[in-house]
Amino acid sequence: MAAPPGRAGLRQFPRPRPQDGCRPPRKRSAGGEAPKMAWWCWARAAGPRAHRLTVLLEPRRGFRRARPRTEEPTPATAEPPAAEARPAPPRRSLCPPPPARAGRPPARRLVRPLLFAVGFTGTAFGAAAIWQYEALKARVQTYFEGARADWLDRIRPQKRGDFRKQVNSWWNNLTEGQRTVTGIIAANVFVFCLWRLPGMRRIMFTYFTSDPSSRALCSPMLLSTFSHFSLFHMAANMYVLWSFSSSIVSLLGCEQFIAVYLSAGVVSTFVSYVAKMATGKFEPSLGASGAIMTVLAAVCTKMPEAKLAIIFLPMFTFTAGSALKAIIAFDTAGLALGWRFFDHAAHLGGALFGMWYVTYGHELIWKNREPLVKAWHEMRTKNTGKGGGRPN
């Protein structure tokens, strides 16, 4: 076999087999990632001892262009497959964007909220009964002290332009219901300001928004009643509460109204929990709308012929009974059709609770408070007697 040109003195041998000690040609991989290579074995006589051969391996490179190799992630750096996420719900302007929730909670998570709603409602009405007893007792004891204070105010020279006098005059001109809801409005404004603090966002999401898939279940049922993320939402709710405050307090009294309002917030949130668990739509809810719907429904049920009007359209009037029917129909349609701008389940639960309380609940709960008040009176009398004071 003739030697290749330019390689004088070298002999070309056939391609060696694997058993001869030379490396076999590299196989072409599927897809052609590497260029084709072949190995040639050359032998040259080394000096006078022609039987000793020096084996030279020389690669032969082809001209086929290799395909670009795509680096596959190693197991250490490979990202885990993302879990199948639920489609993001449409953002509501009245509520902050919800945090990410994973999975659907079991139905047994409703047991604790149910027990909390029942226990809190009983505690609220019991505390209201004791509060009313103490208020009546203090009112009788301070009757003469109040008369003496009025006499001193009449003979004391009045200061003109006194800011304290103006505040007292404004406060005294308010009705009992308006003075009662002033504290509720102040609490709502305070919580609204907390939403504006970036460092409080995690706490506000956990305890001031109600969601059955959240870590906290019971405390948000009450705290979310005083929570508003939108200024318009808070202003609208507080305006309705202020408008109906005089009527509801004249019907129930200050102490009973507070018990009904707080209980309505908890009960309406529980109804919202049940609806979210049934539909699988877990979104945070907040606002006093559920409790305010209880106030509105109670007033409209007791005074169905009262005339109502819309703030921006005072020329259109309608009866309270018609307004209540329209509101219930609207929230029922929203719950059935899956509207997600408002928490229609909480609104509907609050309205039904208000209608039930003024129809049956007042007779069932408030008029049966006498045993509790009697037990409290006996305990107070006994403790006062042991202290050496005058029995009441």
User: What is the reported pLDDT for 391?
Assistant: 44
Asked whether the beta carbons of 233 and 287 are under 8 A apart, the reply is yes
- Round to whole Å and give the CA distance between 59 and 347: 83
Output the CA angle 119-280-213, nearest 5 degrees: 50
Determine the 3-state secondary structure of 50 from DSSP: strand
* Average pLDDT of span 283-295: 93
User: What is the reported pLDDT for 102?
Assistant: 53
Listed in sequence order, the residues at least 6 apart from 180 whose beta carbon sits closer than 8 Å to its beta carbon are: 245, 249, 254, 257, 258
Q: Is residue 8 predicted with pLDDT exceeding 60?
A: no
Q: Is residue 236 predicted with pLDDT exceeding 50?
A: yes
* Average pLDDT of span 132-142: 84
For all residues of the chain together, what is the average pLDDT? 78
Determine the 3-state secondary structure of 2 from DSSP: coil
Please report where in the chains the tokens 């030279």 appear, as a residue.
56
- Round to whole Å and give the CA distance between 252 and 365: 13
All structural domains of the chain, each given as residue ranges with its CATH number in brackets, are 118-144+175-376 (1.20.1540.10)
How is 331-392 classified by DSSP, letter by letter? HHHHHHHT--SS-HHHHHHHHHHHHHIIIIIHHHTGGG-HHHHHHHHHHHHHHHHHTTS---
Rounded alpha-carbon distances, angstroms, from residue 211 to 24, 206, 220, 280: 69, 9, 8, 11
Q: Is residue 83 predicted with pLDDT exceeding 60?
A: no
Residues with catalytic function: 289, 347
Residue-wise pLDDT for 266-282, tens only, equals 999 999 999 999 888 88
Asked whether the beta carbons of 202 and 279 are under 8 A apart, the reply is no
Residue-wise pLDDT for 308-319, tens only, equals 888 777 788 889
Among 237, 245, 344, which residue's Cα sits nearest to residue 299? 245
User: What is the reported pLDDT for 114?
Assistant: 96
